[in-house]
Amino acid sequence: MSEVKCNDQIKNEYRIINGDCRIILPTLESNSVDCVVTSPPYWGLRDYNVDGQIGLEDTMETYIKTLTAVSSEIYRVLKPEGTYWLNLGDKYATSCLSGQGDPTSGKKPKGAFVPFPRKTDLPNKCLMMLPERVAISLISSGWILRNKIIWAKTNPMPSSAIDRFTSSHEMIYFFTKKAKGYYFNQEAVKEPAVTTKKRSPAGAKGKIKLTRNRWDVWNLATAGSERVDVVDAIHYAKFPQSLVRLCLLAGCPENGIVLDPFSGSGTTGKVAIELGCKYVGIELNPVYAVLSETKIESNEEGVSMRYQSFDPTCMSVSHKVEDV
């Protein structure tokens, strides 16, 4: 695949590649991306009706190995000072092999079929701890986990379960390639300090401060509370722009290059462009890849858009991401 040169006069530039990230990532140049923010398909949760999708593996072990392999390619393309933000949700084990006993299996909610439950060796109804299993696998492969962030949803999906509490959070893992010297802008994401007359915020040293370093519990509404556009109405599983914005403000330098190997509806790209960054999105589903153009193009005029359907026969030439 030939390299694509961009017009240097265009302030914000981006490109969406329609294809499998396991094929496309190896064609990207090493040490070329500043920040990765992504949310892969969760295991056994939805079927997006596209061949080769991640998330429909027969076992959770295969799913974990797949995400670890993808993350190893992310490690290669990420700059030494880059950051990697991974959003994952959990699920409960089921003893059903073909959907009996689960009235939602096989039905189509918004834009995605619910796959039949996958068999595991875990006890029935046991929380699978999938995000933690993936995170541990990534640590074993060389990543450094700097934070386990809890995304506490202020408007979680209601639950009819009568024997457990309602699930209302997901995990965001903040990874780096090295222990020191990576990009992190604490000032850009500080939050209001909570004070009382009896006690000032920690570190205030007698002075009352109005802000504090952001905590690792982020109270954010889901994407359903944000303005719905054409893509959002079709893509059911998307994270909110407010979440992506915090990750990029903290983990991506000004004018940096942002990558999302599971671009989906283009939420990461939309926020990256708004913040003046360049964006490379990889999306397997051709419908999402095309429609996400609408979402990203809605930011401002003068944005350079490059949509490309990936041809695996041309993967011998590496992309220079700086030239996107």
pLDDT at residue 199, rounded to an integer: 57
Residue 3 placed within a domain: no
When pLDDT is averaged across residues 216-234 and rounded to a whole number, the result is 68
Q: Residue 174's closest CA among 165, 163, 182? A: 182
Residue 170 belongs to a domain = yes
Residue 320 banded pLDDT, cuts 50, 70, 90: low
The enclosing H or E element of 37 equals strand 33-38
Are the CB atoms for 261 and 74 separated by under 8 Å?
Answer: yes
pLDDT at 97: 43
Question: Which tokens hold the place of 240?
Answer: 């909110």
Residues 6+ apart with CB under 8 A from 66: 22, 54, 57
4 in any annotated domain: no
Per-residue pLDDT, 233: 47
Most confident of 192-201, 216-225, 239-248: 239-248
- Whether residue 64 lies inside any domain: the answer is yes
pLDDT of residue 109: 47
Domain count, the chain: 1
Cβ burial 145-175 (10 Å sphere, 16+ → b, else e): ebeebbbebeeeeeeeeeeeeebebbbbbbb
Using CA atoms, how far apart are residues 177 and 157, in angstroms rounded to an integer?
35
- Is residue 7 assigned to a domain? no
pLDDT (tens digit per residue) in 108-139: 444 455 665 677 889 999 999 999 999 999 99
Does residue 79 register a pLDDT over 80?
A: yes
How many other CB atoms are found less than 10 A from the CB of residue 125?
Answer: 12
Structure tokens at 7: 């017009």
Span 145-164, mean pLDDT? 94
Residue 204: its pLDDT value, please?
55
C-alpha to C-alpha distance for 295 and 158, rounded to whole angstroms: 28
pLDDT score of 17 more than 60: yes
pLDDT, mean over the chain: 81
CATH of the domain at 306: 3.40.50.150
The set of residues, in sequence order, having a beta carbon less than 8 Å from that of 68 and lying 6+ positions away, is: 134, 137, 138, 141
Which of 2-11, 74-83, 178-187, 192-201 bottoms out in mean pLDDT, i.e. has the lowest? 2-11
Reported confidence tier of residue 296, pLDDT bands at 50, 70, 90:
confident
Average pLDDT of the residues in 23-28: 97
Compute how many other C-beta atoms are within 10 angstroms of the C-beta atom of residue 285. 22
Please provide the DSSP assignment of 121-165 as one string.
SSPTT-B--HHHHHHHHHHHTT-EEEEEEEEEESSPPP---SSSP
Q: Which has the higher per-residue pLDDT, 223 or 157? A: 157
- Residue 2 in domain: no
Tokens in use for 271? 């926020």
Q: Which residue has the higher pLDDT, 135 or 206?
A: 135
Strand ranges (E), 159-266: 169-176, 191-192, 211-212, 217-220, 257-260
Q: Facing residues of 151 across strands?
A: 170, 218
Q: Which domain holds residue 77?
A: 13-323
Judged against a pLDDT cut of 80, whether residue 214 lies above it is answered with: yes
Is the model's pLDDT at 157 over the cut of 90? Answer: no
**Residue % of the chain over a pLDDT of 70:** 73
Model confidence at 172, pLDDT cuts 50, 70, 90, reads: very high
pLDDT given for residue 113 in this prediction: 58
The whole-number average pLDDT for the span 17-44 is 96
Q: What is the mean pLDDT of residues 38-60?
A: 90
Residue 197 pLDDT level (bands cut at 50, 70, 90): low
Which pLDDT band holds residue 223 (cuts at 50, 70, 90)? confident
- The band of 189, judged by pLDDT with boundaries at 50, 70 and 90, is very high
Q: How confident is the model at residue 170 (pLDDT cuts 50, 70, 90)?
A: very high
Looking at residue 298, its pLDDT comes to: 72
pLDDT at 18: 94
Measured distance CA(214)–CA(192) in Å, rounded: 9
